[in-house]
Structure 1
Amino acid sequence: MAPGPGSHAGRRMSMRRSVITTLATMAALALAALGLAGAATAGTPTTQDRSFSAEQTGDIEKIVHDYLLKHPEVLIEAMQELDKKQAASDRQKQDGAIAANRAAIFNDADSYVAGNPKGDVTIVEFFDYQCGYCKRSFGPLMDTLKKDGNIRLVLKEFPILGEESVTATRAAVASMKQGKYFEFHQALFHHKGQLTDEAIMQAAADVGLDTARLKRDMNDAKIKKLITRNYELADALAIKGTPGFIIGGKLIAGALDKDELVAAIKDARETCGANC
């Protein structure tokens, strides 16, 4: 998955470091509480009357340290539980964001719809023409679209990998005025190597676009507004990289192979029917 700023992986790694620190602190506090409870039972001062000396604090920290070294599985279990809770929280937020932005996601008049416009399952893809993971998904996606025959594919231009990506997006959107968007879209994904202005225009010419007109149409202010809307929508959905798919109302981050696509489509048909 081509990364965007503030990726989930980076945040999760930070959270894992945090949970280790937090767990050690909580263990120390628990041990301290037990020690104080025992002291209180023996008639010695409680937490309101005394604090630990530096020597006692060091002893507690050593006990926690030694315990965690002897039982590292405690940390692993804690991090696994953290991952589960974070994933559930992320999913809940994403589901809410998808519900709140359904019109922009599924029915934006300026987003190109490929496949069967009346298909029973809608796939929405956020992509960048220079994204290697998008290219990896491109073949399986096109094959599935053709073989299934009942898929509605909504294409969301999401150029996050540099100026060439933005140029390719502007050219692709502008090609709609000449009725050749999907042919051009495929040509850009079939291009080998880095996209340049020359390569973009050559791909346009190869599919029969009037490149002089295309260059003029690329300056349409509506195109810039569309890209900005897609950035804002991706941000609302917490999509930080490409590709990002929404299938059956569920967000799936990263490249998908044929089997994964077919499984996601099957699940969509079984769980949400016509509401996909």
Structure 2
Amino acid sequence: MPLRFALPLMLAMSGPVAALELDAMTDAEREAFRAEVRAYLLDNPEVMQEAFAVLQQREQEAQVTTDMEMIATYSDALFNDRYSYVGGNPAGDITIVEFMDYRCGYCKRAFPEIEALIAADTNIRLIVKEFPILGEQSVLASRFAVATLLVAGDDAYKSVHDTLMEFRGDITQASMTRLAEILELDAQAIIAKMDSDEVTNVITQNRQLGQQMQISGTPTFVIEDQLLRGYVPLDAMEQLVAGLRE
């Protein structure tokens, strides 16, 4: 770390009293103090690494606290919105909320691991938040999935969701129509529902919730009172769930 950042960081770590004492010094005393700090840091550069590590830890702890407060504030919208798909065990003791986008590579990477987690642990409740942020194809896919949920119910949505998570081609109305036909769904009814106000409202509310929760990327997971931004490996998910149960 450049030495010009050393003194401000040390004062930040030591609190307002140190800053007030520095302000009370004469110019000569202040220059002498700075010279002593510089000499000490040159002789002991590991001190700055330790101080920076402590500062990072404090920032992380502050972020965790902020995240927990946001989850508590928006808990009803997160866990009880009455329009999102609920999978796994609806009465499970651990709830996982996933904000996802069908065009997101890391969402696709997380998909089989979330499936494995729920298959192995039958006491997890999974809520899927359609959160299309990667362009028009993402929006089209989410509209199709939400329309399927509204027209044909949970099982049909699950089939569509799983297929879209593994889908690698372009998402168009034609490809979605073909997908509905392959899954033996009422393609005409689903396509007709896609542009409805009901579907628009679901996606709009998810986006608003994402903004309120300071979520800007996918996947993002809310696991009880924990907010996890980005892909999380299966073993880390398992450890977190086990820790929440302790």
Shorter chain as normaliser: what TM range? Answer: 0.7 to 0.9
For 2:198, the equivalent position in structure 1 comes to 222
2:235 aligned residue (249, 259, 271)? 259
Query: Is 1:23 aligned to 2:13, yes or no?
Result: no
Q: Secondary structure at 2:133's aligned position in 1?
A: coil
How far did 1:235 drift?
2.2
| Corresponding residue to 1:178 among 132, 141, 152 | 152
1:1-276 alignment to 2 at 5 Å? Answer: 21-25=4-8, 47=26, 68=41, 71-176=44-149, 177-179=151-153, 180-193=156-169, 195-270=171-246
Q: For the residues of structure 2 that align with 1:218 and 1:132, how far apart are their CA atoms?
A: 24
- Kept in 1: contact 2:140–2:171 (CA 8 A): no
SS of the residue 2:95 aligns to: strand
The 8 Å contact of residues 124 and 156 in structure 1, kept in 2 or not, is answered as yes
Q: Following TM superposition, by how much is the alpha carbon of 1:105 offset from its aligned partner in structure 2, in angstroms? A: 0.6
Asked if the contact 2:96–2:221 (Cα under 8 Å) also holds between the matched residues in 1, the reply is: yes
**Gap runs ≥5 in structure 2:** 12-17
Partner residue in 2 for 1:4: none
Q: CA deviation at 1:111?
A: 0.8
Distance 2:121 2:190 in 1: 33
1:152-208 CA deviation, whole Å, 9 max, x = no partner?
A: 111111111111111111111000112211110000001125544444343333222
Quote the Cα distance in structure 2 between the aligned partners of 1:245 and 1:71. 41
Sequence identity of aligned pairs in percent?
37
Q: Is the 8 A contact 1:158 1:227 kept in 2?
A: yes
Q: 1:23 to 1:199 in 2, by over 3 A?
A: farther
| Counterpart in the other structure of 2:14 | none
Residue identity opposite 2:52 in structure 1: M
Give the gaps of 5 or more residues in structure 1. Answer: 1-15, 38-45, 271-276
Maintained 8 Å contact 1:248/1:269:
no
Deviations 1:115-164 (A, max 9, x none): 11111211111111111111111101112212322211111111111111
Distance, in Å, in 2 between the alignment partners of 1:21 and 1:126 is 41
Q: What TM-score does the superposition give when structure 1 sets the normalisation length?
A: 0.73
Aligned-pair CA distance for 1:269: 2.0
Query: Secondary structure in 1 aligned to 2:102?
Result: coil
Deviates more, 1:147-156 or 1:99-108: 147-156
In structure 1, what is the Cα distance between the partners aligned to 2:44 and 2:6?
13
Please, what TM-score do these two structures have when normalized by structure 2?
Answer: 0.81
Tell me which amino acid in the other structure corresponds to 1:217.
K
Question: How far, CA to CA, are the matches of 1:27 and 1:269 in structure 2?
Answer: 39
Q: How many residues align?
A: 234
Distance 1:95 1:21, change over 3 A: farther
| Greater Rg over alpha carbons, structure | 1
The 1:105–1:25 alpha-carbon spacing in structure 2 relative to 1, beyond 3 Å, is closer
